[in-house]
Amino acid sequence: MREVRGRRPAPRAHWLALVVVLLAITAALALNGYVSGELTDAGYVRPPGPAAQVPESISTGGPVIGSRAGAVTSVEMPPRTVVLTFDDGPDPTWTPRILQTLRRHQVPGSFYLLGSQMLRYPDLVRRELAEGHEIGNHSFTHRDLSTLPPWEQRWQLAQAQLALTGITGSTTALLRPPYVFSAESLDDRYWSLIKDGHANGYITVLADVDARDWERPGVEKIVQNAMPKNGEGAVILLHDAGGDRAQTVAALDILIPKLKSAGYRFTTISEAADVPAYHPSSTGEEWRGRALVWATKISHWIAALLAVLLLVAGVLTVARMFLMLGVARRHGRTRRRSAWGAPVSLPVSIVVPAYNERAGIEPALRSFLASDHPVEVVVVDDGSTDGTGDMVAELNLDGLTLVRQQNAGKPAALNAGIRAAQHDLVVLVDGDTRFERDTVRKLVQPFADPEVGGVSGNAKVGNRRGLLGRWQHIEYVMGFNLDRRLYDVFQCMPTVPGAAGAFRRTTLADVGGVSDDTLAEDTDLTVAVVRAGWKVVYEEEARAWTEAPLTWGGLWKQRYRWCYGTLQAMWKHRRSVVQRGASGRFGRRGLLMMLIFQVLLPLSAPAMDAFLLYGLFFLDKQTTVLVWGGFLGVQFVTAAYAFWLDREPPWPLWSLPLQQVAYRQMMYLVVIQSVFTAVYGIRLPWEKLRRTGDVQLPVTTGDRS
């Protein structure tokens, strides 16, 4: 409608910024999920294959396979020389205990680390180096590399190498592929992998002795398995991660003294095989490694924030359900047991602000005038360009007054209508709304209580055909109207909707009429009335049927204006939080609940959907589906009870799961965009929605009392 002077232009890049932020968060969560993947989810491990291409000198040779004089050869451990090697770490529980044990016995170890674990526990990697142990590459995520294409094999090793470089500045030359034990267990595909690794500077370290500690057979059995035979040298395979390693830790305290007493010397791979353990890294590799480390840290922080938001969303959702259900039941019992007082029969003025309402205003006006309560209708044509005023004049209906003015905005039109109204009770209603015969009578009965200054009616979606209309119908019933019962019980009603609301003229005069300070003039007015000490109540029997947007674009404009206007009203009335009396009561009840349920809950609720996607890729799928299903179940219970309270057929609830997947995401974006707009300080113009007049009232519209 009108342009607002001094309005700052909306920034054109904010949507691009939002998309970039969402993509960055998605990438961070993907990285965190990939890094945090469990070892048990390592993918397919193939059975042994043919070994015709493996040279006999390799398959019958030692566990250290490297390049010498241009040929790939193997190296055996010298007699009575052992190297203790540990796979799959580092682990925050078991690696420190193993390091303590090695330090106590003053023996070195060789640790073959996963890149994902290094990024999660970088301090342990630094500790291993600082205490004189060797570090090798065990891939990034413990996949069976022989089942992967060559590019992914190299990527797994390169990413683990990059993690090590970013943490320590070193580049290891030692490689131990997952799921291959000894030289004699090599087949053609592993041999191809080893040759490709050597071409890229790696020395492969396998093992002579497998302690089989991963089976957790008992401490004595691990010690027995780990002992070399007949005084031979050996590379001993153990684990410091991948499960409960308490038996491994205990076995070391027996194994090391036993080997020492048998005359064994403990050393490292580089010393025993006379091969380099590390390669120098370039400046570019170090910077890329540091970038990966920082990206992992940031992704962990974002995932932790997601977990917090998930907890907040879950707690708020469950709390809202119990609060709404308990309070709504109390509200219904209270309303049934009590009457407002003597019946109110005073005539009522219905004020209708109209701007380009030609499509649907005639049936709206006829429904108002058909009320079973004495009414006059005042239509304020706010400079319409579609002939709305002329059409209203041509109707020539008894009890109808037309006021024309230049376009000045909805608040100005409402104030003009209030000034022209003849009666002390005023109903403010939008031009697309239709009343049932008893709506006005039901709406004004609470004014029998002289402390009541405003009454909210029960706004219903009148064009609920189609999926979008059905979803809005669900939202009105389980959201808006259920909320109003809550606010009514706590005496802190924040909004008398434009579709159905009534006030005393004295109340409106008391607060200075309808303000144009915000886009949510109905919320701003209602809050002002409550803060002034008047009661504002909810009369669920006064039903009004309104036209909901038929397109996603129209819905976005409407909800964006509502949400942003609500934020404006909350900010305008923020001082009520520290005030006394009725104003303070509203601030500490109404504003707090608005902040929690209309701002914080929508802002945190996307964590539930992010958790669903994250969990399907990186967590236990059954647990993920159960958690999300529980959230959906809470929503369904709340919706079903709200429909029962409103005496609505439950059939539209079949579309609730779809609403949670699609419609709800748009409402999240509306809140996010509104908060962004509020922070930026933009003043928005009024957005006129396209009306069709497609509002269907129920077949029976008589008195339901």
Q: With contact defined as beta carbons under 8 Å apart, do 403 and 380 qualify?
A: yes
Catalytic residue among 87, 208, 432, 488: 87
The answer as to whether 619 is a domain residue is yes
Residue 584 neighbours by CB under 8 Å, 6+ apart? 576, 577, 578
Please write the tens of the pLDDT for every residue from 522-551: 999 999 999 999 999 999 899 999 988 888
Give the pLDDT confidence score for residue 13 in this predicted structure: 45
Query: What's the CATH code of the domain at 210?
Result: 3.20.20.370
The answer as to whether 698 is a domain residue is no
DSSP 7: P
Q: Is the dihedral of CA 621, 623, 627, 630 positive or negative?
A: positive
Please write the tens of the pLDDT for every residue from 368-411: 999 999 999 999 999 999 999 999 999 989 999 999 999 999 99
269 shares a domain with 350: no
Rounded to 5 degrees, φ, ψ at 265 are -105, 135
Catalytic residue among 133, 138, 142, 239: 239
Average pLDDT over residues 676-693: 58
Whose tokens are 């036993």? That residue is 258
- Which of 92-101, 301-310, 432-441 is the least confident region? 301-310
**Which uninterrupted H or E stretch holds 204?**
strand 203-205
The average confidence (pLDDT) of the chain is 86
257 shares a domain with 315: no
400-425 burial, b for 16+ CB within 10 Å, e for fewer?
bbbbbeebbbbbbbbbbbbebbebeb
Give the pLDDT confidence score for residue 187 in this predicted structure: 92
230 shares a domain with 343: no
Average pLDDT over residues 450-472: 91
257 shares a domain with 139: yes
274 shares a domain with 356: no
- Terminal alpha carbon distance of the chain: 40
The answer as to whether 238 is a domain residue is yes
Please write the tens of the pLDDT for every residue from 205-240: 999 999 999 999 999 999 999 999 988 999 999 999
Average pLDDT over residues 352-358: 92
Give the pLDDT confidence score for residue 632 in this predicted structure: 83
Give 30: exposed, middle or buried? Use CB within 10 Å, 0-12, 13-18, 19+: middle
Q: What percent of the chain has pLDDT over 90?
A: 50
Residue type, 427: V
- Separation CA 547–CA 545 (nearest Å): 7
CA 596 from centroid of its chain's CA atoms: 16
Kindly tell me if the per-residue pLDDT of 12 is higher than 50: no
Higher-confidence position of 81 and 698:
81
Q: With contact defined as beta carbons under 8 Å apart, do 473 and 652 qualify?
A: yes
Q: With contact defined as beta carbons under 8 Å apart, do 89 and 109 qualify?
A: no
Give the pLDDT confidence score for residue 444 in this predicted structure: 96
Q: With contact defined as beta carbons under 8 Å apart, do 206 and 85 qualify?
A: no
- Label residue 647 by pLDDT band (50, 70, 90): confident
Query: What's the CATH code of the domain at 452?
Result: 3.90.550.10
Give the pLDDT confidence score for residue 428 in this predicted structure: 96
- Separation CA 602–CA 587 (nearest Å): 20
250 shares a domain with 316: no
657 shares a domain with 543: yes
Please write the tens of the pLDDT for every residue from 89-122: 999 999 999 999 999 999 999 999 999 899 999 9
- Separation CA 420–CA 286 (nearest Å): 77
Kindly tell me if the per-residue pLDDT of 448 is higher than 50: yes
Q: Is the dihedral of CA 510, 516, 521, 527 positive or negative?
A: negative
Q: Is 573 a catalytic residue?
A: no
Average pLDDT over residues 11-17: 53
Give the pLDDT confidence score for residue 597 in this predicted structure: 80
Residue type, 403: V
221 shares a domain with 334: no
The answer as to whether 9 is a domain residue is no
The answer as to whether 12 is a domain residue is no
Give the pLDDT confidence score for residue 600 in this predicted structure: 79
Kindly tell me if the per-residue pLDDT of 18 is higher than 70: no
513 shares a domain with 366: yes
Contacts within 8 Å (CB) and 24+ apart, 251-257: 251/211, 251/213, 251/219, 251/222, 251/223, 251/226, 252/84, 252/98, 252/101, 252/102, 252/105, 253/101, 253/105, 254/219, 254/223, 255/222, 255/223, 255/226, 255/227, 256/84, 256/101, 256/105, 256/107, 257/105
- Label residue 631 by pLDDT band (50, 70, 90): confident
Give the pLDDT confidence score for residue 687 in this predicted structure: 53
Give the pLDDT confidence score for residue 38 in this predicted structure: 45
Q: Is 239 a catalytic residue?
A: yes
Give the pLDDT confidence score for residue 336 in this predicted structure: 47
Q: With contact defined as beta carbons under 8 Å apart, do 334 and 446 qualify?
A: no
Please write the tens of the pLDDT for every residue from 26-73: 777 777 777 776 443 445 567 888 989 999 989 999 999 986 555 678
Q: With contact defined as beta carbons under 8 Å apart, do 194 and 166 qualify?
A: no
The answer as to whether 630 is a domain residue is yes
The answer as to whether 569 is a domain residue is yes
- Separation CA 669–CA 460 (nearest Å): 24
DSSP 590: I
Give the pLDDT confidence score for residue 705 in this predicted structure: 43
383 shares a domain with 264: no
Tell me how many domains the chain contains.
2
Kindly tell me if the per-residue pLDDT of 596 is higher than 90: no
Give the pLDDT confidence score for residue 216 in this predicted structure: 94
403 shares a domain with 272: no
Please write the tens of the pLDDT for every residue from 326-351: 776 676 666 544 567 889 999 999 99
* 218, 234, 252, 599 from 249: Cα distances, Å: 11, 20, 5, 51
The answer as to whether 599 is a domain residue is yes
Give the pLDDT confidence score for residue 286 in this predicted structure: 86
436 shares a domain with 362: yes
Task: Give the residue numbers spanning the domain of 502.
Answer: 308-680
Q: For residue 410, give both structure tokens.
A: 């909805």
